[in-house]
Amino acid sequence: MPIRLGETAPNFDAQTTMGDINFYDWAGDSWVVLYSHPSDYTPVCTTELGRTAALKEDFEQRSAKVIALSVDDLDSHMGWVKDIEETQDVKMNFPIIADADKKIAVAYDMMHPEADAKFTVRSVYIIDPQRKVRLTLTYPPSTGRNFTEILRVLDSLQLTDNYSVATPVDWKEGDDVVISPSIKTEDIPDKFPKGHKVIKPYLRTTPQPNR
């Protein structure tokens, strides 16, 4: 069954390039970005892993950890890490899960029924500190993932979890946000003292409240 938003992310024990882990223990109180790769030594994924390593501080600023997965074994992963570091000019600073028996890939619905049985699809999951899945994305093999977008979604989720707002189209950190329809217009000044605009009765905006 596909993993749906709001469901609890499955726990697992795994070998990784940075040692054995229990997923829940490793995650701790952090947000987690978990993403999968069809196999080791794939060109697009090599660039993605390098980009993720370069963004370590950006994820840390959002109390987020990143972990990748491929169904190849640990020895293969360790060789791939050397290639990533060489070609992407980074030091790998986050783990890659070895899932040779595909148990984790199956638990997270990463196996495409019409693809090679060995390969995982290129999925992304954002998981919150309560272990709930908050975002799922699946990319085609030919298209590299946009980590600026993944960081943007983390910003949006963390903002909207703490305030009665939503983020509009193309929102980025610092832009105005949309006030929840559940807030009565007459109550807005008390809740959002920075001011607001009423564009339509159902479309009210306010400056980002935590800036």
For residues 28 and 120, the model is more confident at 28
Predicted TM-score (pTM) of this structure: 0.93
Please give the average per-residue pLDDT across 104-123, as a whole number.
74
The candidate with the shortest Cα–Cα distance to 120, out of 107, 131, 135, is: 107
Q: Is residue 110 domain-shared with residue 178, that is, in the same domain?
A: no
Residues with catalytic roles: 45
**Residue whose tokens read 């799922």:** 136
The answer to whether residue 2 is domain-embedded is no
CB 91 within 8 A of CB 17: no
In percent, the amount of the chain with pLDDT more than 90 equals 89
pLDDT reported for residue 186: 93
The candidate with the shortest Cα–Cα distance to 192, out of 172, 173, 210, is: 210
pLDDT reported for residue 121: 76
What is the C-alpha to C-alpha distance for residues 176 and 68, in angstroms, rounded to an integer? 33
Q: Is residue 190 domain-shared with residue 139, that is, in the same domain?
A: no
Which tokens hold the place of 157?
A: 């989720």
- Tell whether the model's pLDDT for residue 94 goes beyond 70: yes
> What is the residue range of 21's domain?
13-145
- Tell whether the model's pLDDT for residue 116 goes beyond 60: no
pLDDT reported for residue 114: 56
Which tokens hold the place of 148?
A: 């600026």
The answer to whether residue 8 is domain-embedded is no
Q: Which residues lie below 8 Å from residue 75, measured CB to CB, with a gap of 6+?
A: none
Q: Is residue 194 domain-shared with residue 101, that is, in the same domain?
A: no
pLDDT reported for residue 156: 98
Q: Is residue 92 domain-shared with residue 139, that is, in the same domain?
A: yes
CB 200 within 8 A of CB 149: no
pLDDT reported for residue 140: 87
What is the C-alpha to C-alpha distance for residues 42 and 35, in angstroms, rounded to an integer? 14
Q: Is residue 21 domain-shared with residue 97, that is, in the same domain?
A: yes
Which tokens hold the place of 56?
A: 């370590």
Q: Is residue 104 domain-shared with residue 176, that is, in the same domain?
A: no
CA 184 and chain centroid, separation: 33
Total count of domains within the chain: 2
Most confident of 14-18, 70-74, 110-114, 182-186: 14-18
pLDDT reported for residue 52: 98
In percent, the amount of the chain with pLDDT more than 70 equals 95
Q: Is residue 200 domain-shared with residue 117, that is, in the same domain?
A: no
Q: pLDDT averaged over the chain?
A: 94
Q: Give the pLDDT confidence of 117-162 residue by residue, as tens digits.
A: 555 678 999 999 999 999 999 998 889 999 999 999 999 999 999 9
The answer to whether residue 186 is domain-embedded is yes
Of 145, 180, 196, the one marking the end of a domain is: 145
